[in-house]
Amino acid sequence: METQLAPDVTFALVLVVVAFASAVKGALGFGFPLIAVPLTANLIGARTAVVLIAIPVVFGNFLILMRGGGSAEELRRFGGMLAGVVAGTVIGAQLLGRLDPGVVSLIVGISAVLLAVLSWGNLMPPISPKAHRVAGPTVGVAAGVLGGATGIYAPLIAAYVHALQVDKRAFVYWLTAAFFLGGAVQVLSYWRLGLYNWNLVTYAVATFVPVVVGTWLGFWIQDRLPVTLFRRLVLLLVLASGVNLVVRHLH
């Protein structure tokens, strides 16, 4: 059941969820939609939550990109993945409402759990430059399809970039670049599909204040996290998100 948005206690709770999700995102580089979409869906309905949260996600990603952390050399390395995210998002957005998100979530959830376990046990094989040229776009398309249909991009991309062993700031930057591109395409696709109205956009813009506050808090936490702890927390969040996707489908 979708709930009509109004300036009430329910929307106040949505703002709290957005602030918390932004803090996690600012600290670890991902986790905003993973946290915000399911919790918000319980308050205002799944479809409204996906469409609403897409806008503050783009805004939050923009704030993080403005902090910097990437390089031109890394852009060549991650360009294929970014292009794949854009292509996959266009496909996923067209499938919103027609694709069974549970099936997609189950596949992505199992993949995320497997990747997290392999990474935690240092069992992930090294990714050669040749394999990277294929794996990057493939991961990007798969994550884009899921993101376009459900608003959740992170599990596959986070596990993949973590496996490349980039440093903390670069990890956050390139994840955010992928999410920003995917999110922008997602919002434009939803707009063209007629899923937005000015009332919904107004409430989405109202979330920008908790996004700013939460992101700033996340930056403060990220700067104080030791690298080893940072990597462990990333893997734990990937694992938790994968398990959550699987459990949601099974129930």
Rounded distance, CA 119 to CA 230, Å? 14
Please check whether residue 2 lies inside any domain of the structure: no
Nearest CA to 13 out of 51, 31, 40 is that of 40
Instruction: Residue 41: count other Cβ atoms within 10 Å of its Cβ.
Output: 18
Pair of tokens at residue 83: 């292009």
Residue, of 192 and 56, whose pLDDT is higher: 56
The pLDDT value recorded for residue 127 is 66
Please check whether residue 1 lies inside any domain of the structure: no
Q: Which of 89-93, 121-125, 137-141, 204-208 has the lowest mean pLDDT?
A: 121-125
Burial-class residue 118 by CB neighbours within 10 Å (0-12, 13-18, 19+): middle
The pLDDT value recorded for residue 30 is 78
The pLDDT value recorded for residue 119 is 65
Cβ proximity of 16 and 210 under 8 Å = yes
Q: What is the mean pLDDT of residues 7-17?
A: 90
Domain span holding position 223:
9-250
Amino acid at 47: R
DSSP, res 2: P
Amino acid at 221: I
Please check whether residue 30 lies inside any domain of the structure: yes
Indicate the pLDDT class of residue 1, thresholds 50, 70 and 90.
very low
Q: Which of 42-51, 130-139, 198-207, 241-250 has the lowest mean pLDDT?
A: 241-250
Number of domains in the chain: 1
Please check whether residue 57 lies inside any domain of the structure: yes
Indicate the pLDDT class of residue 15, thresholds 50, 70 and 90.
very high
Please check whether residue 228 lies inside any domain of the structure: yes
Instruction: Residue 97: count other Cβ atoms within 10 Å of its Cβ.
Output: 11
CA angle in degrees (0–180, nearest 5) for 113-174-249 = 30
The pLDDT value recorded for residue 165 is 77
Rounded distance, CA 183 to CA 153, Å? 9
The pLDDT value recorded for residue 249 is 64
Nearest CA to 87 out of 129, 52, 138 is that of 138
Report how far apart the first and last C-alpha atoms of the chain are (Å, whole number).
18
Q: Helices 129-150 & 154-163, crossing angle to 10 degrees?
A: 160
Rounded distance, CA 238 to CA 223, Å? 20
User: Is 60 exceeded by the pLDDT of residue 124?
Assistant: no
Please check whether residue 90 lies inside any domain of the structure: yes
Please check whether residue 4 lies inside any domain of the structure: no
Indicate the pLDDT class of residue 100, thresholds 50, 70 and 90.
low
The residues near 112 (Cβ < 8 Å, ≥ 6 apart) are 155, 156, 159, 238, 239, 241, 242, 245
If DSSP codes are grouped into helix, strand and coil, which group holds residue 1? coil
Kindly report the pTM of this predicted structure: 0.74
Please check whether residue 34 lies inside any domain of the structure: yes
